[in-house]
Amino acid sequence: MPSVHALANPARFLKITRPLTPVLFWAGVLLIAIGTWAGLTQTPADYLQGESVRILYIHVPTAWLGTGGWTGIAMSSIAFFVWRHPLANIAARAIAAPGALFAGLCLATGSIWGRPTWGTWWQWDGRLTSMLLLFFVYLAYLALARADADRDGDGRIPALFGIAGSVLLPVIRYSVVWWNTLHQGPSITLSGSSIDAALLWPLWWTLAGFTLLFASIVIMRMRTLLALARVEARMRRMARA
């Protein structure tokens, strides 16, 4: 098993991830299909929320990956500051776009779920507002990383922003505890789940599936960014020749 530092070598990273990418992608698609089918056809309606509860099989994984994506950006940014390895910076940049996508999907599915449950598409409560702020922070990071790359920056400013933005993560996590909001409290914790087992089991399939899909997208983007960096370096060498 190669170490983390060994994987930080771009050539070794590409060698390992090239065959791994389609495996992660299609395994994710299969698990999402199984979990979605099971959630739509094999589970009962909720006694309070009725059929609308089925959106949890999409909403929960998107929420998990929307926040988890920024955790990945923050960890990659810290690694970049500590070891100054460009692959860490590339990883953070690769995570940003799919992370923003899943944060947006979390907000969209939450609004669709909230309409029949709360009687409104949107409510400025702690969880929704902090998640919306995270979505905007994702967009700001994308713009900042693009600007830094265009001016041949060293990546430190986006990395610092990636670390600073992580302050939103505990706010999102504990917003339903700190403030009285429409959003329900934590349903799944280390001590157990408040969701009935008859409704819960397909969620593990979609959680695993979306996580694998997310990982495959990030790896594909990392490979693309590495290829672009190689092309740019070659063009610079040709221009100096």
| 182-195 exposure pattern, b = at least 16 Cβ within 10 A, e = fewer | bbeeeeeeeeeeeb
In a domain, 138, yes or no: yes
Per-residue pLDDT of the chain in tens (241 residues, 90 and over written 9): 445 555 567 778 888 889 999 999 999 999 999 999 999 998 888 777 878 889 999 999 999 999 999 999 999 999 998 888 888 999 999 999 999 999 999 999 999 988 888 788 888 888 888 999 999 999 999 999 999 988 888 889 999 999 999 999 999 888 877 776 766 666 665 556 667 778 888 999 999 999 999 999 999 999 999 888 777 666 666 667 6
Tell how far CA 79 is from the center of its chain: 18
Length of the chain: 241
Q: How far is 12 from 23, CA to CA, in rounded Å? A: 18
Look at residue 66 and tell me if it is in a domain.
yes
Contact indicator for 130, 136 with CB cutoff of 8 Å: no
209's enclosing H/E stretch is: helix 197-240
Query: What pLDDT digit, counting tens, does each position of 21-42 carry?
Result: 999 999 999 999 999 999 999 8
**Quick check: is 86 in a domain?**
yes
Task: Kindly report the CATH number assigned to the domain that includes residue 177.
Answer: 1.20.120
Give domain status of residue 32, yes or no.
yes
Query: Taking every pair of C-alpha atoms in the chain, what is the biggest distance, in angstroms?
Result: 73
* Residue 147 belongs to domain spanning: 21-184+208-240
Q: Do residues 113 and 125 make contact, with C-beta atoms less than 8 angstroms apart? A: no
Within-domain flag for 152: yes
Strand 192-193 relative to strand 188-189: parallel, antiparallel, unpaired? antiparallel
In this structure, what is the dihedral angle of CA atoms 130, 200, 52, 104, given to the nearest 10 degrees?
30
Q: What is the pLDDT of residue 177?
A: 75
Comparing CA positions, the residue from 50, 190, 26 lying closest to residue 113 is 50
Q: Quickly count: other Cβ atoms within 10 Å of residue 21's Cβ.
A: 18
| DSSP one-letter string for 95-137 | HHHHHHHHHHHHHHHHHHHHHHHHSSS----HHHHHHHHHHHH
Bridge partners (DSSP) of residue 89 are: none
Look at residue 146 in the predicted model and tell me its pLDDT.
Answer: 92
Spatial CA neighbour of 156 closest among 224, 211, 79:
79
Residue 4: its pLDDT value, please?
52
- Sequence-distant (6+) residues with CB within 8 A of 156 are 80, 81
Question: What's the number of domains the chain is made of?
Answer: 1
> Model pTM?
0.88
Position 1 scores a pLDDT of: 42
Q: Considering the domain boundaries, does residue 166 fall inside one?
A: yes
